[in-house]
Structure 1
Amino acid sequence: MVDFVTLNSIALVVQWIECLASNQEMGVRFPPRAQIIYNITAMPRIDYLASESVTEGHPDKICDQISDAILDAYLKQDAKSRVACESFICGNNLIIGGEITSKGKVDAEKLARQVIKGIGYDDEKKGLDYRTVKITVMLNRQSPDIAMGVSKKDLLEQGAGDQGMMYGYACDETKTFMPLPIYLAHALSRRLAEVRKNGLLPFLGPDGKTQVTVEYHDGKPKQIKNILISSQHAPEVSVEKLKKALMEKVIRPIVPKNLIGKETDIFVNPTGRFVIGGPAGDTGLTGRKIIVDTYGGLAKHGGGAFSGKDPSKVDRSAAYAMRWAAKNLVAAGLAKKAEVKIAYAIGMSRPLAFNVNTFGTGKISDNKISDLIGKVFDFRPAAIIRDLDLLRPIYLQTAAYGHFGRTDIDLPWESTSRIKEIQAGF
């Protein structure tokens, strides 16, 4: 669609060209007005959309994994555990804090060391050593004021653990119903960890980041504009050797050939050396990679983080439910892409707001789709927990490489089990 402002601008350009054409001395032949307008309006809208990912050894992700490991440990012992666990790491110091009410008993310090070891931080030269890191644990009980509003005898009337709004998104541009930039960025980050751990590139360190920029024509991915990888490495490895190794062992096995053209730029460690990494280079904090965790910036975010929170916290459970709804909506063929939004009040089970936006790709109006989704899904907090079976220790596996669009792990909110109900309603 061409708006009024665009048409007005085109008209001015056409008038200017016709004015020039009237000057016979120029001897220039111009196409008719209709052809000029067609050529201008037929030009595609070009957008460059970028998304980033980080490896499991990134300081923020260390904290996310520790917080979710503690959550899983409590849920394994007591499914009704209420957990809000935060981690903070700076240099050789780790602080674990938060509010937990549970019948379970968890050695948070021991668990944190296991997580750090599993990531690969076993030498202070890498930025951290699981054996020598100093750990302080400060975990308290959940406030009874919060518990009073959330815990109710009728489980389906269980109130939301906090106020806020949550978003879910899905599109048909990848097999995982995720935007292409974040899909590729996560795949590259996972590959960095894989080649480090399996010995293909043993000189890589645990810390790393990736970023992919995709060129879109009229909303459809056309080609990759650039790929950026910043990876921690051993001091004896040159940037040239690193770039060659990453191209052969990381980029080529992951990125489809048809998406890389002559104009695609590949950047590896643009600042040069990246030897000092992990918490020795940057401070880490739970919940600071919320865009990496979701849709790479191509969809809205309500602001609430996921890691360290049990499913009574709608920041987490409702965001999962919104992804579930959006993915089923697109997978059912009702739209090419969809963003689903919901809002809650603390202590109240019924959502305060619900909205669907298909960006003009829906087969029926967004209002009708919203009504249909409301009939197919129950978005009361307890119903979400029940339908997605969320009172299980499944969260550590989500704490790195994204919570959505995963094919390497089985996540209930990635199920397309409601397709038939949506299609029947349509």
Structure 2
Amino acid sequence: MRSDYLFTSESVSEGHPDKVSDQISDAIVDLFLSKDPEARVACETMTTTQKVVLAGEVRGEGIMDADGNWAPGVKEEIEATVRDVVREIGYAQKGFHWETLDFANNLHPQSAHIAQGVDASGEKDEGAGDQGIMFGFACDETPDFMPATLYYSHKILERMAADRHSGAAPFLEPDTKSQVTLRFAGGKPVAATAIVVSTQHAPGYDSGSNETELHNYVRGVVAEVIPAELLTNETVYHINPTGRFEIGGPDGDAGLTGRKIIVDTYGGAAPHGGGAFSGKDPTKVDRSAAYVTRYLAKNIVAAGLASRCTIQIAYAIGVSEPLSLYVDTHGTGTVADDALEAAITTVAGEKLGGLTPRGIREGLKLNKPIYRKTAAYGHFGRTPEGDLFPWEKTDLTDALKSAVA
């Protein structure tokens, strides 16, 4: 593993068109899970100028029957949910307005052939909702055990969104992107070499004193988010480098669910299996297995068993047990990686009920309407609060240390 290098990660705000789509899809997942904790949902969203389109497959009590008939009032609830998400993000613009946008609902019943592989029946346990490989990752670069470049990219945008919603920065509009480049020495971040922030803004904030105000505001946010020792006179800032950015969000570019999977995970610092999270119920291992591998990797690092940990797990559709489990501590582990693989299997069996789709769902209590909050500013590195972000807890550290002792 290299110890001296430059590395960059990006983030996008809740108002980015792809993130608008993710939040709508996850709000629909939450709506359906609130009606039936065993609901099956695969909801894709497309957003563009004054338009939101839903597509995908659903199944659940009080939602839709096998013939595609909606339960009373559900279609209206779906549309109201979509409009509420857009309103809460802050889109009331001519080109994308929560109240006047055109809405199309193309959700239909889940395939019976998929259902037969996923559902438990007789002696068969619940199977994975699809084949695939999933990765979890953690490192000790930040208090939340996340890659520093992504951590700071998220934090810049979270702060800007909070200021926009509170009115502290009334010149900001919802669509924003950030990018942070850090120089690493000895494997640790030592300096921020470049900061990029492109933010949609009110008319007139691309020139003169208004532009200066916006630039000074962004620099102030960066100074509050990134530790002072990382910012130097040589840090290069690119703030709205293309100039005017008034047309943004779905009016400026179409958005689709699942197009920001690197933003959602580790900012490029770890592998990704390719599957998106948003819009999927937790029987889909794209989502639930990525969460449990993050949970396990984070606890390994929090336990002091490694300073950097990558975990891969693989499944076949309709099969309950994982096909493989792989741990790589990148030479930082205090015990052998194969010992950690054995420890994970033991601890997951004791604390979660195993690494089957059912074990993960029930062990992490994923069959709840907890997903809308995950759909902006990353699924990982978040603070567990009530039912939210259970995979971010560090309550397995003692069990893991005992298992490798």
Asked whether the two chains share a fold, i.e. TM above 0.5, the reply is yes
**Cα contact 1:156–1:382 (8 A) shared by 2:** no
| Alignment check: 8 A CA contact 2:191 2:232 kept | yes
Q: Which residue of 2 aligns with 1:280?
A: 251
Q: CA deviation at 1:372?
A: 1.3
- In the alignment, does 2:397 pair up with 1:425? no
TM-score normalised by L of structure 1: 0.87
Using the TM superposition, name which of 212-221 and 175-184 deviates more: 212-221
Partner of 2:328: 357
Rate the CA distance shift 1:45–1:179 in 2: closer, same or farther, 3 A.
closer
Equivalent residue number for residue 49 of structure 1 = 7
* 1:113 has 2:90 as partner: no
**For residues 17-416 of structure 1, what are the structure 2 equivalents within 5 Å?**
45-105=3-63, 106=74, 107-124=77-94, 127-153=95-121, 157-237=125-205, 238=207, 239-248=211-220, 250-377=221-348, 378-407=354-383, 409=385, 410-416=388-394
Distance across 1 between alignment mates of 2:243 and 2:62: 47
On the 8 A contact 2:384/2:393 being kept in 1, the answer is: no
Query: 1:192-216 CA distances to partner (integer Å, 9 max, x unpaired)?
Result: 1111111111011000000101111
Contact 1:156/1:381 (CA < 8 Å) preserved in 2?
no
Alpha-carbon offset, residue 240 of structure 1: 2.6
Secondary structure, aligned partner of 2:343: helix
State how far apart, in whole Å, the 2-side matches of 1:62 and 1:45 are: 37
What amino acid sits opposite 1:131 in the alignment? E
Q: CA deviation at 1:131?
A: 1.1
- Displacement of 1:375 after TM fit? 1.1
User: Would the alpha carbon gap of residues 425 and 139 (structure 1) be closer, same or farther in structure 2, given more than 3 Å must change?
Assistant: same
Deviates more, 1:148-157 or 1:352-361: 148-157
2:70 paired residue number: none
Moved more, 128-137 or 103-112: 103-112
CA distance in 2, matches of 1:289, 1:422: 32
Distance in 1 (CA, whole Å) between partners of 2:125 and 2:397 is 27
Distance in 2 separating the partners of 1:142 and 1:297:
33
Q: CA deviation at 1:266?
A: 1.3
Q: Hey, what's the Cα distance between the residues in 2 that align with 1:421 and 1:219? A: 28
Q: 1:55 to 1:156 in 2, by over 3 A?
A: farther
Kept in 2: contact 1:155–1:382 (CA 8 A): no
Secondary structure at the aligned position of 1:51 is classed as: strand
The one-letter code matched in structure 2 to 1:251 is V
Q: Whole-Å Cα distance in 1 between the matches of residues 93 and 51 of structure 2?
A: 15
Percent identity, please: 49
Deviation, 1:398, is 0.4
CA deviations on 1:324-355 (whole Å, 9 max, x unpaired) are 01001111111011000000000001111110
State the shift of 1:173 in Å: 1.2
CA spacing shift, 1:415–1:156, aligned 2, 3 Å: farther
Alignment deviations for residues 205-239 of structure 1 (CA, whole Å, 9 cap, x no partner):
00000010111113211111111100000112233
Give the residue type in structure 2 aligned to 1:244: N
Distance in 1, matches of 2:182 and 2:26, equals 32
Q: 1:383 to 1:287 in 2, by over 3 A?
A: same
User: Structure 1 segments of 4 or more deviating over 6 A?
Assistant: none
Q: SS in structure 1 opposite 2:190? A: strand
1:288-313 Cα deviation digits (max 9, x unpaired)? 00000000000000000000100000
- Against the structure 1 CA distance between its residues 45 and 70, is the aligned structure 2 distance closer, same or farther, given a 3 Å change threshold? closer
What is the deviation of 1:45?
Answer: 4.5
Q: Is the 8 A contact 1:293 1:404 kept in 2?
A: yes
Structure 1 unaligned residues grouped into runs of 5+? 2-43
Query: How many residues of Structure 1 are paired with residues of Structure 2 in the alignment?
Result: 381
> Hey, what's the Cα distance between the residues in 1 that align with 2:6 and 2:392?
27
Contact 2:383 2:392 in 1 (8 A): no
When Rg is computed on C-alpha atoms for both structures, the one with the higher figure is 1
Say whether the 8 Å CA contact 2:384–2:392 is kept in structure 1.
no
Q: Distance between the aligned counterparts of 1:54 and 1:72, measured in 2? A: 22
Report how far residue 156 of structure 1 moved: 8.5
Q: Residues 258-285 of structure 1, C-alpha deviation per residue, up to 9 Å, x if partnerless?
A: 1101111111001111111011111100
Deviates more, 1:140-149 or 1:406-415: 406-415
Shift of 1:154: 6.6
8 Å contact from structure 2 (residues 384, 390) kept in 1? no
